[in-house]
Structure 1
Amino acid sequence: MPVIRSNSNSTAAVDAGRSESSATVSRKKKRTTKNKKLGLVDRLVPVGKYMCRMVSFNWNICQTLDQGLAQIACALPEEEKDLIQGATDKDKGFDRCWDELIKIAPYVPDLVMNCDAIDLVEMTFDYAKTTSRAEDNSKFKKGVASWRTWSPPLPKGKKGRGFAHPECQRMLCPISVNFADPKARDAFVLEKSPPATHHVWPQCAYSGYTGNIKNPGQGFLRSGLIKQGALSIMHSPSEAKKLENNSGLDRGTRPGFADMHAITQVTRPFLAYVATLLRYSLSDEEAFRVNSPFNYGQYYTDILEYLEDPIFQDTTDELLEWWDREIFPDAHHARQNPDLSGFSMIKRMRAGLASSDTEDAQSEAAEFQEVPLE
């Protein structure tokens, strides 16, 4: 019987082919996993930016997701009821963030139930929160110098702003100080008396950049710069600039934040957010810190507390309507005039067609009506 000789070269080639095939499959799997993660990140970043701007600029992502998991874990209505009744004020804040989150991204509950995805979701939202603040701070920093005529001109950088600029002095001044009084002005600017803290709201947040300490709600959150800042975020920086030049609106060619999310109304947290960004843009502070001498985190929280207080609901509802009219005039007009909507036009056309058909039928019936014999 002849000796069977193995073809070592052939065997090696087969093994090499298998190894290469296995490596190719492994690379494809890794590439697929990476693409899925990148796709998930691309979906979640805009959602995270929306949450920061429209819901809570400093939302606690980890606690919000944990609260959402607690809601999902409730198998019975009684369990969910007990969870709601036992919630602290902080828990209710997390619940509100969770509810808003799943409104804009209904797929998030499935993601957080996946142990492999929850860390990526949290990291992506944290990145989106940081990025949205940086983007909006940059818009305010660059834009505020051109949103009005400053005397002297406002520097493009932070150096030369704050108390080094006479108009910034006036806008950063607390409404408790009569800036028109030279003695009060010198005491504030030179002696820091009273100090510019978040405890008393600054003039820059008020219509005409002048607030009344005896009536702090009058003209609050209606300043021109706040409006222009809101336009730059919702639509485009060019629209904010056009507003100052009375050149009409120019939303550019790229869709803005409002277009991306089909936003047609402002929210209370958004107003607190733009007011906070404006105050920071007028200062000479190089870094946006929550615990700086002027506590921006507390400033935002105080404004939001006022806007959400049921006692002031009539006033703040009217304020939001004013903002909707200024930022989204077309959508506001449509809401105020539902009879002029496209749907109402179609209803009228249908009604007119039905009326015409009825008249034609009656006319035909009269035409072919039998005449009784005499």
Structure 2
Amino acid sequence: MFSGSNPATDAHYNSSATDPLVHYGRHFGRTVHALCNFQALLTNGILRMGELADTPEENFTAERVSYFPAEERREHRVFQELLKSVAGLEERLMHGGDDEVDAVAELASIPFFCVCKVICLSHISRQLTKGASGARGDDTKSLKGSVLNWITPKGQNLIPPLARNIKVDHGFHHERTGALLCPAGLDWSNSETKAKLKSSEIIVTGDQWPLFLYADYHYDPEDPWNGLFRSALLVCAYRHVFTSPSSVDREPKATRSGNARIHGMTRVTLPSIAYIAMQIRFSLTSSPVFSRTDTVTDSERFYNSVLDVFEDPDEKQEVNDLIIWWNR
């Protein structure tokens, strides 16, 4: 999965002129959590560290975690991943020097933080957000034309053709993109269903997963996991972002390392699959600008619904099989 290289990589953001936090933020957004509120994540994570300071991590996992709501458990896991991903971040958060004057979060009024001064919280969250948002924007732009190439049958043209810079004719307004975005369980070939999707009489929410997620774009109602997250379109987009655009056709031509290699990534992560699925879904829609709060594309709900399934204990075996398939 990670052979080849990418001419449009994060190498520029790893230079001495760029805050390393931006570099870390780009990879974190792609592989751990794409729509993270870093300010809230850091603030809540620091508070939780104080609360759990005397609790061994293994005890927290086995005993204390059940007392937190599911959303908070996920936030804690994401926070722990952030601490592991960014070298020296925990030390910087907990013991920053007075010369770091960008922003100060003073929690001395809280008993278990009476001696803890958190420095530069706003600066850290701002730089991480800059990295994650920048990577997402770069990938959205880069994938826009490529997705159209991948969904066009070889040797043929889409009829009518799809514009590359204007998306008004995408989504349910076009036969090809509409078929790929059609929720599993609905029949795009049914003229009444198609008309209702086009007119928005049928409102598609983010937790209604589209057919492009499935191998051969086929949904099996008797076995919903059959082919799920194994489509050729997902694989192409994943290679495009993490390895190189040229690696999609297995013809590496670039000279610089791809994003996966730059960040030392050797295995596919589940959140990175959700991230690529979110990017493809947006690319196929008629919405011109990505927004996590856009109720039309409902991207945030879609992304979180995928993470919910990946983290569901009842789906553990299927999820394990999926990650083995991606890392084969």
Task: Give the match's secondary structure for 1:77.
Answer: coil
Task: Give the match's secondary structure for 1:179.
Answer: coil
Shift of 1:310: 1.4
1:137-156 alignment, distance < 5 Å: 137-150=140-153, 151-152=158-159, 153-156=161-164
Q: Which residue of 1 aligns with 2:26?
A: 49
1:249-268 alignment, distance < 5 Å: 249-250=251-252, 252-268=254-270
CA distance in 1, matches of 2:318, 2:307: 14
% identity of equivalent residues: 24
Flag the structure with more relative contact order, 1 or 2, with Cα contacts below 8 A and sequence separation at least 6.
2
Q: Is the alpha carbon distance of 1:178 and 1:196 closer, same or farther for their aligned partners in structure 2, counting shifts above 3 Å? A: same
Among residues 177, 184, 202, which one is paired with 1:168 in the alignment?
177
The normalised TM-score by structure 1 is 0.68
Among residues 99, 109, 115, which one is paired with 2:90 in the alignment?
109
Q: Which residue of 2 aligns with 1:89?
A: 70
Shift of 1:74: 6.5
Task: Give the match's secondary structure for 2:150.
Answer: coil
Q: Is the alpha carbon distance of 1:79 and 1:231 closer, same or farther for their aligned partners in structure 2, counting shifts above 3 Å? A: closer
Q: Which residue of 2 aligns with 1:227?
A: 235
Shift of 1:293: 2.0
Per-residue CA deviation, residues 221-260 of structure 1 (Å, 9 max, x unaligned), is: 11111111111111112222x2xxxxx3416211111001
Give the conservation status (yes or no) of the 8 Å contact 1:273–1:300: yes
CA distance in 2, matches of 1:315, 1:219: 11
1:9-20 alignment, distance < 5 Å: none
1:69-218 alignment, distance < 5 Å: 69-70=46-47, 73=50, 77-78=54-55, 84=64, 87-113=68-94, 114=96, 116=100, 117-150=120-153, 151-152=158-159, 153-157=161-165, 158-189=167-198, 191-218=199-226
1:52-63 alignment, distance < 5 Å: 52-63=29-40
Shift of 1:187: 4.3
CA distance in 1, matches of 2:77, 2:146: 32
CA distance in 1, matches of 2:174, 2:138: 24
Q: Which residue of 1 aligns with 2:117?
A: none
Task: Give the match's secondary structure for 2:162.
Answer: coil
Q: Is the alpha carbon distance of 1:95 and 1:127 closer, same or farther for their aligned partners in structure 2, counting shifts above 3 Å? A: same
Shift of 1:124: 0.3
Q: Is the alpha carbon distance of 1:200 and 1:142 closer, same or farther for their aligned partners in structure 2, counting shifts above 3 Å? A: same
Q: Which residue of 2 aligns with 1:285?
A: 287
CA distance in 1, matches of 2:214, 2:173: 21
Q: Give aligned pairs, total.
A: 281
Give the conservation status (yes or no) of the 8 Å contact 1:63–1:94: no
Per-residue CA deviation, residues 273-319 of structure 1 (Å, 9 max, x unaligned), is: 11111111011101112232231101111111111111111111111
Task: Give the match's secondary structure for 2:149.
Answer: coil
Q: Is the alpha carbon distance of 1:40 and 1:208 closer, same or farther for their aligned partners in structure 2, counting shifts above 3 Å? A: same
CA distance in 2, matches of 1:120, 1:188: 44
Q: Which residue of 1 aligns with 2:318?
A: 315
Q: Is the alpha carbon distance of 1:46 and 1:251 closer, same or farther for their aligned partners in structure 2, counting shifts above 3 Å? A: farther
CA distance in 2, matches of 1:79, 1:316: 28
In structure 2, runs of 5+ residues without a counterpart are 1-14, 101-119
In structure 1, runs of 5+ residues without a counterpart are 1-37, 243-247, 326-374
